[in-house]
Amino acid sequence: MGAAGLLHPHPDEVAAVLFAGPNRFFLAADKVQVKYEMLRAHGVDGVSVTEAAEFHGYSRAAFYLVATSFEERGMAGLVDERRGRRGPVKLTPQVVAFLRGAEVATPELVAEVERRFGMRLHRRTVERARRV
């Protein structure tokens, strides 16, 4: 659960009754559940954004990010996105096709890509793209 980003970073800060009361049913360490209940507290129970965020261990700014993500993606929006790049940004299908079709050494290919496409690629990026 931790490696998948599903643990609330500060479960001890969740003070909402559902998570902290004597008849606790919900788990404060479950980030998705906490986010959902935070949105529900505001949308259904009429709790202010500031209070809903505070009671669930989030800032007001984080509340709005969670709400937007939920509106755009539904329940999937409550799961944190993987951080970092999603892959090489510069490699378009056209550049990849050129790299895979070329029969020159990597250093020359790096120079040719810069000349032809106007982009500078690291040699490791070129080597990875050439693997089929």
What is the pTM assigned to this prediction?
A: 0.60
Tell me the per-residue pLDDT of 29-74, one tens digit each, with 9 for 90 and over.
999 999 999 999 999 999 999 999 999 999 999 999 999 999 999 9
Q: Which two tokens stand for residue 64?
A: 């709005």
| Cβ–Cβ < 8 Å for 13, 57 | yes
Domain residue extents for the chain: 11-78, 93-130
How many Cβ atoms from other residues are within 10 Å of residue 121's Cβ? 20
